[in-house]
Each structure stands twice: as structure tokens, then as C-alpha cells.
Structure 1
Amino acid sequence: MSSIRNTLRALAVAAVSAALVAPAVPARAEPSPAELTRRIERASAELERVVEAHNALAEQIKTNKATVARLQARIGPLEQQAERSRAEVNEIAVTAYKTGDVGTAAALLRPGDATSRLDRLATVDQLARDRQQRIAAFTDDQRRLNTEKTQLNGTLKRQAAQARELANARQRIERDLASLYELRRQAYGRATERPAARPDSARQAPALSGSAGVAVRYAYGALGKPYRWGADGPGGYDCSGLTSAAWRAAGKSLPHNTRMQWGAVAHIGRGELRPGDLVFYRGLGHVALYVGGGKIIDAPSAGRNVLKRDMTIMPIAGYGRVR
């Protein structure tokens, strides 16, 4: 019996010794709430950069489409005017033929392309030079406008391809955010902020006159609404979408892109800030509406809601006043 006890004791000592000398295998720890928050913030910042790039491209595409429409509207009347001028020349040629001025008629009606016809018009003294100049001017205008339209259509195709690339990048980041939000749900019980009660949010706005007052009241009315990429209301906003919507309510047009908004406003110093001005952040990647008292209203990032907070949320790139 003692031999069995001795054997068991020896095995126990050996097991303890093996445990002491065996390499430690660290347990896989779940990310802490603070680490989850940092990862979500990094992914949100990257998503915001992609969204703002997408917004800039959308603004450029919109501008180019409007330019193409204007060109098409100008080309039509020019073509009609040129056709009228050609009809006048043909009528003169027919009249010359009927009146016996066969030389003039032959010069005008002889087969050939438009260029050679214009060249032959130079030989008809009574009115050919005027018609030649007019037709040549109309033809040049049409050629120039068609060239510009062709170039713009090429630009639109390239931008559409870039938009698809940005959409793919955005989808990839949103997939990453979805997994992070699932972890956040496990940590906090909810992936996104709860919508805030907003029945009196617009009434909380300071009493301000003029267009700046309208913009500020609009921003107060947006408090608690969710961040939505590429959106400018009324159900949700991204950062530049909120500022552009607020100032659109005040009758001012701002592009839906932070960097473009920076280019559209008058740049001011911090000491000149007044409610309604814009505050730009981190390399012009984020923008907010200043509402006074050192506070801003902005659409922060994916998963969060429009809120009012201190304007010192991150390094400030500059300040702007809507003109």
C-alpha cells in the first residue's frame, strides 16, 4: 500500500514540476471596451475620409453634368442658325440661276463639301463674304462645343469609375464597422447610440437674426438624428451634409464636401467666430457648425447621432464664414 502511495506522490510531484517548467500559454483576452472604442474610432475616421472623397466626386459629377446640359442647349440654337444661313445661301443661288446669273449660281450650287462651298462663296462679291464669315463662325462654335462636350463625357465616365471604386472601399469599411459594432454590442449592449429625444431641440437654439440664425436653428433641429454617410437630411447627415443642409435652409448654397466648403467660405480667425460660422478639423476631413459659447453641432461619425459639444473635439484646421 505504501508503494502505491509513494508512486502517486511521485506522479503528483512530477505533474507539478512539469507545470512549473512548461511554457506558459497566454489566455486570449477579449478586447477591452476602451480598445473597442479606439478601433471603432479609427475605422470611423477612415470611413469619413472615404465618404468625403465620395462627396467631392459626386459634386464634381453634378457640376460636369450641368455643364454638359448647358453645352447641349447652346449647340442646338447654333445648329439652327447655321442651317438658316445655309438656306439663305441656297436661296440666293436659286435666284441667281432664275435671273440668269449662271456664274454665281454655279459657284454656289456646284457639288462639294462645306469647306469648299465656303471657299467658293468668296468669289461671289454681292453677299458671299458675309455669309461665309457667319457660317464659318457657327461651324467653329459647333466644333468647339462638341469637343468640350466629348471631353466632359469622358470625364464623367472616369469619375463614374472612381465613384465605383470609392463605393467598394466604403462597403469594405462598413463591413469592418459592422463587426466592430457587434463587439461593441457585446460590450455595451448596443451598437449605436440611442436616438435622443428632440421635441424641443429647435426651441433651445439661441435667438439669432438673419441667415445665420436660420442655419443655427436648423442645426438644433437636427440634434439626435443619426449619422448617415452621404446624407444631407432630413433623416440623417454626414458632417458636410449637415452644414450644407443648415445653410441651404438659410438660402445659401454650400457643396456637400468639407474641402469644397473650405474653398467656398471666407476664412476668419478664432476671435471672429460667431454663431453660424463653420469650424474645420483634421486636414479638412471634418466640419461642424458653430453655435456660440465655444460649442458646435456636428454629425460625428458612423454609429453616433448629431450632437452639440465643445468645439475642441480634435485639432482645428480653420474657421469659415458663409458668404
Structure 2
Amino acid sequence: MAAHRKKPRKRPSYGTALRRAVTLALAGAATATTGVLDGTAGADPGSPAEQVKDEVDRLYREAEVATEKYLGVKERTRTAQGAYERLQDEAARRTDQLNSARRTLGSYAAAQYRESGIDPGVKLALSADPDRYLAGTALADRVGDRQARAVEEVRREAAGLERLRKEAGDQRDRVTRQQAELRRHKKAVTDKLGAARRVLSRLTAAERERVATAGTATATGPVAPAAGGSARARAAIGFAQRAIGSPYVWGATGPRAFDCSGLTQAAYRAAGVSLPRTTYTQVNAGRRVGRDELRPGDLVFFYPGVTHVGLYVGDGRMIHAPRPGSTVRIASVDEMPFAGATRVV
């Protein structure tokens, strides 16, 4: 996450809602008793604590949307950069070929220049061996054919190199555009996370902890998956279980910290299965299954736009990396709006 700056920062565009949440947070911190933030079950839906929680939840969800977009652009930028570098290598190779063809053509041109001042008839008359001279003339004709082919080779290599350089230039421009988009998405993430931190900073440490864990079921004991998961699915679950307690860090894929799709990618990588990086690409990485068909190892997705993912472990539970300020944990799949599921193996 971005470091706090000392200079004043421009208030986010959602300022009215944020100012209202901060005001409520201050009022809650000033008047609340110890039990105000005991959790969503006993909290008044209109209380300052619940208002703060709702605002923080919204900001974190928006940060997660921006994170997934950032990660997607990052993958495309990496691919485009690799393609550009391969084009550069090919252009260098083709340049060498063009230079070689030019040298061959140059040797033919030099030989022709050296011989151009003597009339063929004079050469025949002066030759001590006319038959040998005539044989040499036929050879010269063949050399002329090779020279014509050398000219064509130069033309072909030059045209190919020009097309390659144009393609490389287009790819370079694509990389530049994607890098700019990457910076925009990263700023969106850090702005949302910064806004959430500012809201939470108005609360005491105990209150922040209650807001962070409200409505979230956690467990640290062994996961006993229900029957039906494949061997690789069980291996992925085993990895995710060992990651319980690891901090959520946006953009992280392990081994000590994870974001939501980073955790599922790392879990299946440990099981020998390659998954793409983002939630909206992971959802298409296997076979879609209905909620009533879930088996241990399935990927479960949440929210419109498929912006959060967890690893199903059975009995209506999943292991996931919830959000900044939290850790990898076990939770109910009912905790968030269900969007779909995918069976990878």
C-alpha cells in the first residue's frame, strides 16, 4: 500500500458519503460503550458503528474491483512486453540477414565493375584458349542469375524488416498505453484503501478490530473436506489451510501474503495446476457448477462482476483472503453475495 504523504491530498469524489461516515465514526467513538461494536448480530443497523462498517466494506469492495482490473492489465502488459522483446530480437536477426544479403550483392557488383571495361569480343580474341573462355562466359551468365537472386533477396529482407519494425513499434505503443492504464488502476486501489484507513482511523484499536471481524467466521483447526474432492483439489485445500493466518496484501501471491485470487492461484499451483491470475479469468478456468453441486476444491466467486474468490472446503465453508487488514481464514460461503462456482479439477 502507498505510504502516507505529508502534504494535503484531494478529497475523494465520494466525499459526501465519506464525510458522513467519518462524522458518525467520531460520534460513535465519543459516546459508545464497550458493547457498541460487538458485531453485526447485536448492532443497531442505523448505529454509527454499523454505518462505519458499511462504508469501510464498500470502500474495500471498490478497492478489490480496482485490484482485479489492475492485475488483469498487469498480465496483459507483461504479455505485450514479452511480445515486443521477441519482435526486437527477430528484427535484430533479420537485420543481420539483410546485411549479409547486401554484402553478397556488393561482391557481385564489385566483380562486375572490375570486368566492365573489356568488350567480350576482345576477351575472346585475346584468349589463349577460346573454348575455355566460352565456358567461362556461360558461368558468368549463371553468376548474373545469382546476382539477380541476390538483389531480390535484399529487397525481400528489407521489406520484411520494415514490416517487423512497424509491428514492434505498434507493440511498444501498446505497452506504453497499458503501463499508463496500470498506473491509473493502481492509484484507484491506493485511493480506496487510503479512504478506508482514514475512516477506520477515527475508531479505537478495539473498535477497528470489531469492525474488521464483524460477521466473519474464523477457524484455525484442521479442515476435514467432505467426500468428493479430487486428489489435486485436496492438495490445494491443504496449501490454503497452511496459509490460514497469512495477511491479505493486495497483489500478493504468496508465500507469506495473498490477495483473494493470489491465494487460489498459489493453492492450485502447489497442487500442480496452473490458474490465471484474476477472478474474472479464474471463473473461466474450469467447468461451471451450480451452488448445490459444490465439491471441495471448487472455486467460489462473489459479488456482481465476480470480484472475489475463495476455495470451497465443504460443509458450506471456504478458505479465502477477505480484504486488507485481515488474514487468510475459513468463512461461510453465505458471507457474501454468491456469483458462481468453477470446478478446476
With normalisation by structure 1, the TM-score equals: 0.73
Deviations 1:133-166, CA, capped at 9 Å, x for gaps? 4333322332222112212221222222222222
Instruction: Tell whether 2:175 aligns with 1:156.
Output: yes
The correspondence of residues 135-214 of structure 1 with structure 2, limited to 5 A, is: 135-185=154-204, 188=207, 190=209, 210-214=231-235
SS of equivalent to 1:284:
coil
Corresponding residue of 1:227: 248
Kindly provide the CA deviation profile for residues 45-100 of structure 1, in whole angstroms up to 9, marking residues without a partner as x: 111111111111111111111111211222222111221111111122223344x2
Q: Is 1:37 aligned to residue 53 of structure 2?
A: yes
What secondary structure sits across from 2:245 in the alignment? coil
Q: Which residue of 2 aligns with 1:50?
A: 66
Calculate percent identity across the aligned residue pairs.
32
CA distance in structure 2 between the aligned counterparts of 1:41 and 1:267, rounded to whole angstroms: 28
**Structure 1 pair 269/143, CA: closer, same or farther in 2 (3 Å)?**
farther
Deviation, 1:232, is: 1.0
User: Are 1:76 and 2:92 matched, yes or no?
Assistant: yes
Which moves more between the two structures, 288-297 or 219-228? Answer: 288-297
CA gap of 1:189–1:272, structure 2 versus 1, over 3 A, is: closer
Structure 1 residue identity aligned to 2:87:
L
Q: What are the superposed Cα offsets for residues 13-35 of structure 1, whole Å, 9 maximum, x if unpaired?
A: xxxxxxxxxxxxxxx94253322
RMSD of aligned residue pairs (Cα, Å): 3.0
TM-score (norm 2): 0.69
Structure-1 separation of matches of 2:108 and 2:199: 79
Q: Distance in 2 between matches of 1:82 and 1:215?
A: 52
Q: CA deviation at 1:126?
A: 1.0
Q: Secondary structure at the match of 2:201?
A: helix
SS in 2 for 1:223: coil
Q: How many residues align?
A: 272
Q: In 2, Cα distance between the equivalents of 1:246 and 1:133? A: 56
Moved more, 72-81 or 88-97: 88-97
Give the distance between the partners of 1:192 and 1:268, measured in 2 at CA. 31
Rg larger in 1 or in 2?
1
SS of the residue aligned with 1:231? coil
Equivalent residue, structure 2, for 1:297:
319
Cα pair 2:226 2:296 within 8 Å, conserved: no
Q: 2 CA distance for matches of 1:92 and 1:320?
A: 66
Pairing partner for 2:301 from 280, 288, 303: 280
Preserved CA contact (<8 Å) 2:313 2:319: yes
Per-residue Cα deviation, 1:250-292 (whole angstroms, up to 9, x for no partner) = 3333332111223443434445543322122222111122223
Q: Secondary structure at the match of 2:93?
A: helix
